[in-house]
A and B are shown apart, each in its own frame.
Chain A
Amino acid sequence: MAKENIDLEQYRDPALAEITLDGKLYGLPGFYDNRVLMINDAAVRSAGLTPDAVDPGDRAALSTVTDQLTRRAGDKLARIGFDPKIPEFLPMWARAGGVEMISADGTKANLDDPELVAGLEYAVGLINAQGGWGSFKAFRDSFDLFGDRNPFASDQLAAFPMEDWYLNVLADVSPDTEITIAPFTDEQGEPVDWVTGSAWAIPAAAKHKDQACTWIRTMTDSATWIAAAEARAEKRKSEGKPFTGVYTGNEKADERIFGEIVQLGDYPVYDKAVKAVLGAQDSAFALPASPARNEFLTAWQDAVNRVLSGQRSPADAMRQAQQEAQTALDDAAK
């Protein structure tokens, strides 16, 4: 770090938190994913509602709105009203319920917290109310997520929390689709933005550590991100499509990218959407790093899948997850 004169101040704190264990930094941040609420305006309008009716902060109201937004064709699902995005977004539901899934030092799992179990029960309830996991997932598997028949353009989905990169996908494949971006909120109405990202690291046994470090510094440097964003913006411009930016773990780079390169004056829908993502970043949090990150992740994801497939109750599943995760964390600490 010292040799390469790397300025850690340029990186976002949650991005650094994800790769810092016991006070030691293990890499440098690359891409950065925020999670926000994406709402399909046309779907919401068709139900006689406005986008602000989709409010995760008011769980009773969200259940009602989900019911209003869900569409069926005979016995089949034709439109998902609200997709809670579990298991993958469970940490967001946990934080909205005031639960830290893992201790700040990454050594203690907290997966059987009653509030987390309640959050999971609620999210599973939303899916069950829309026909149950089997048909819900089967319908979702049929989505053309990256094509011009994406679930927003083809009215298959009314609202879901999603990573910010999907904004860029929509801007590319269906730029005319009207969407609203809002922060995911807790029950007090406070924004909750769970962020994850990629990072560059050097294996301890690498033969050319200095060269690797130079490479990493270059790849995570603001100048590199800005050059990449300029190239992307130029490409989109030549295609007559909006460029919604690239979200990075480098705050300095983001300032330039969203301050100068992203120009959305001609696309008010995306202009508003990008501003909403940037606003959500003020409430960003990352799960603390842990010595058994993948085992921890697998434990809670498997637990949610067991609940969704009806094999376990939320409480039982999370109890098993807690045991599996804590065993893995303890083993890794040895």
Chain B
Amino acid sequence: MPGSRFRRWAKGFRERDTWAAYAFLSPWLVGFTIFMAGPMVISLVLSFTDYDGLRETSNVGWRNYEQLLSDPKVAKSLGNTILYTVMTVPGKMIVALALAMLLSRVGRRSAGVFRTLFYLPEVTPKVAIGVLFLLLFNGQVGLVNGFLGLFGFDGPQWSTDPAWVKPGLALMSLWSVGGTVVIYLAALNNVPADLYEASALDGVSWWQRFRHITVPMISPAFFFTLIILTIDALQSFDEAYAAFYGSSASATYSSDAALFYLVYLFQQAFQFLHMGYASALAWLLFVVIMVITAIQIRVSRRFVYYEGGDR
């Protein structure tokens, strides 16, 4: 009953602990209201207006949302972003898991050092990563093609060939895999050792242990990172923008293949000053992310094992 639930909630304020809890929560609540909920409401209102930040704002009803349907760049940028997400999320999860498993085998003291080293790229500004992309993946003098050349491969033109732009950016995204490594490492450390001991006594192979103990036991971490990395990839902006659209110099060498959804949204908002349309674009992305996340949650019920649960 909603009424009784509310009464129970209100009754809680008779306790000092409730006040203390809200006092501790208040920095986040205030921050969320001012920096998230407030702007979201404003953006929702703006999505029904023609607003450029310079002139009078006028109401346009659903026109911005209708325009989304007829604008070919919406489909193009959304397609680019989803393809990039499909490339980058599994790649990040696999590489992070491999690194975490390696880390879990080193001694406790050196693990701290390696954890720090793996995490350091995570704090690299994403704009710097975008610039680094152009240097590392330079088709003529880049380190990546230089490395491939050692094995006799003629590397592609990563920054100009439309077929290689997204794979290049996806590879570059592995640079900041440290946060996921730390999550997997914590999950691996929480797998009860007696499960491995029992399996060793039963003489199971490394692969069977990995497949039937490690993977199920850390599946909640997989699920968590899948959701977070997917949302992060769908909101990709900085690296692609810095590499292909960032400065007035590179902006002239834009690539359709790097037109990610948020890059297009940014163009509409801050280059063309179509803030109302950009707000509608933002809400479409919100819906897309919600739908994808809902599907992931639904599908995950079959694959995620929670101790104490049915699976």
* Chain A contacts to B: CB under 8 angstroms: 76-77, 87-88, 133-135, 137-139, 141-142, 203-205, 292, 294-295, 298, 301-302, 305-306, 308-311, 328
Q: Determine how close the nearest CB of chain B comes to the CB of A169; give it in whole angstroms.
A: 13
**Smallest Cβ-Cβ distance to B145: which chain A residue:** A138
Q: Is B54 a contact partner of A137 (Cβ separation < 8 A)?
A: no
Cβ–Cβ contact B139 & A309, under 8 A: no
Give every chain A residue within 8 A of B134 (Cβ-Cβ): 141
CB < 8 Å neighbour of B252 from A88, A134, A292, A311: A88
**Chain B 125-143, CB within 8 Å of chain A: the 1/0 string?**
0000000001100111110
Kindly provide the distance from the CB of B228 to the nearest chain A CB, expressed in whole angstroms: 33
Of B140, B157, B162, chain A has the most CB atoms within 10 Å of the CB of: B140
Check if A138 sits within 8 Å of B271, measured CB to CB. no
Q: Which A residues are CB-close (under 8 A) to B157?
A: 133-135, 137-138
Contacts A205-B54, A309-B160, A309-B162 given: A138-B252 contact, CB under 8 Å? no
Do B140 and A309 have beta carbons less than 8 Å apart?
no
Contact, CB under 8 Å: B161 / A134 = yes
Partner of A142, one of B138, B251, B253, B254: B138
User: Would B162 and A298 count as touching, CB distance under 8 A?
Assistant: no
B159 at the interface (CB under 8 A from A): yes
Q: Which label, helix, strand, loop or mixed, suits the secondary structure of the A interface?
A: helix
Residue pair B160, A308 in contact (C-beta under 8 Å): yes
- Interchain CB contact under 8 A, B271 and A141: no
Q: Are the CB atoms of B160 and A138 closer together than 8 Å?
A: yes
Residue B267 CB within 8 A of the other chain:
yes
Contacts of A133 in B (CB 8 A): 157, 160
What is the bound-complex CA distance between A198 and B138, given in angstroms? 32
* Residue interface bits B152-172, CB-to-A below 8 A is 1, else 0: 000001011110000000000
* A134-B160 in contact (CB<8A): yes
Q: Contacts A204-B55, A305-B256, A306-B256 known; A139 to B271 CB distance under 8 Å? A: no
Jot down 18 A-B pairs with beta carbons below 8 A, ordered by A: A76-B140, A87-B252, A88-B252, A134-B161, A137-B157, A138-B142, A139-B140, A141-B135, A203-B53, A204-B55, A294-B271, A294-B272, A295-B272, A298-B267, A298-B272, A306-B256, A309-B162, A311-B162
B255 at the binding interface (Cβ < 8 Å): yes
Which residues from chain B contact A292 at a C-beta distance below 8 Å?
272
Partner of A309, one of B142, B255, B271, B272: B255
Question: Nearest Cβ in chain B — how far from A112, in angstroms?
Answer: 18
Looking at the complex, which one of B55, B135, B140 makes contact with A135 (CB distance below 8 Å)? B140
Q: Which A residues are in CB contact (< 8 Å) with B141?
A: 138-139, 142
Inter-chain contacts of A328 with B (CB < 8 A): 272
Q: Is there contact, CB below 8 Å, between A137 and B272?
A: no
Bound state CA distance, A161 and B252, in angstroms? 15
Interface of B is mostly: loop
Shortest beta-carbon distance from A32 to chain B in Å: 16
Q: Which residues of A contact B139 (CB under 8 A)?
A: 134-135, 137-138
Assuming the A-B contacts A135-B139, A135-B140, A138-B138, are A298 and B271 also in contact, with contact meaning beta carbons closer than 8 angstroms in the complex?
A: yes
* Across the A-B interface, the 4 shortest Cβ-Cβ residue pairs: A134-B157, A138-B139, A138-B140, A88-B252
What 4 new A-B contacts, CB under 8 Å, besides A87-B252, A294-B272, A310-B162? A134-B160, A137-B160, A302-B254, A305-B254
Residues in A with CB closer than 8 Å to B135 are 141
Smallest CB–CB gap between B76 and chain A, Å? 11
Q: List chain A residues, Cβ under 8 A from B162.
A: 309-311
Among B140, B159, B160, contact of A77 (Cβ-Cβ < 8 Å): B140
Docked Cα-Cα span, A5 to B26, in Å, equals 55
Are A302 and B256 touching (Cβ within 8 A)?
yes
CA distance in complex: A138, B135 (Å): 9
Closest Cβ–Cβ distance, residue A8 to chain B (whole Å): 23
Give the one of A76, A77, A142, A292 with max B CB within 10 A: A142
Chain A nearest CB from B74 CB (Å) reads 14
Residues from chain A with Cβ under 8 Å of B142 in the complex: 138
B73-100 interface (Cβ within 8 A of A) = none
Give CA–CA (A305, B161) in the complex, Å.
11
With a CB–CB cut-off of 8 A, which chain B residues contact A310? 162
Per-position binary interface string of chain B over residues 17-53, scored 1 when its CB falls under 8 Å from any chain A CB and 0 otherwise: 0000000000000000000000000000000000001
Which of B54, B55, B138, B252 is within 8 Å of A301, CB to CB? B252
Cα separation A76 to B155 with both chains bound (whole Å): 13
- Tell whether A203 pairs with B54 under 8 Å between CB atoms, given A134-B160, A137-B253: yes
**Given the complex of chains A and B, what is the CA–CA distance between A260 and B13 in angstroms?**
79
Take A204-B54, A309-B255 as given contacts and tell me if A138 and B159 are in contact as well, using a CB distance cutoff of 8 Å: yes
CB distance from A313 to the nearest CB of B (A): 15
Are B138 and A141 closer than 8 Å at their CB atoms? yes
Residues of A within 8 A of B255 (CB): 305, 309
**Residue with the highest number of chain A CB atoms closer than 10 Å, among B142, B159, B253:** B253
B residues in contact with A203, CB < 8 Å: 53-54
Alpha-carbon gap, A308 to B271, bound state (A)? 23
Can you name the residue of chain B whose Cβ is closest to the Cβ of A134? B157
Residues of chain B within 8 A of A302, CB atoms compared: 254, 256
Report the bound CA distance from A142 to B142 in whole Å: 9
Please measure, in the bound complex, the distance between the C-alpha atom of A325 and the C-alpha atom of B186, giving whole angstroms.
53
Q: How far does the Cβ of B125 sit from chain A's closest Cβ, in whole Å? A: 20
Task: Give complex CA distance A302, B141 in Å.
Answer: 26
> Which of A87, A301, A309 has the most chain B CB within a 10 Å cutoff?
A309
In angstroms, how far is the closest chain B Cβ from the Cβ of A319?
Answer: 14
Decide if A305 touches B138 in the complex (CB within 8 Å): no
Asked if B272 and A311 make an inter-chain contact with CB atoms under 8 angstroms apart, the answer reads no
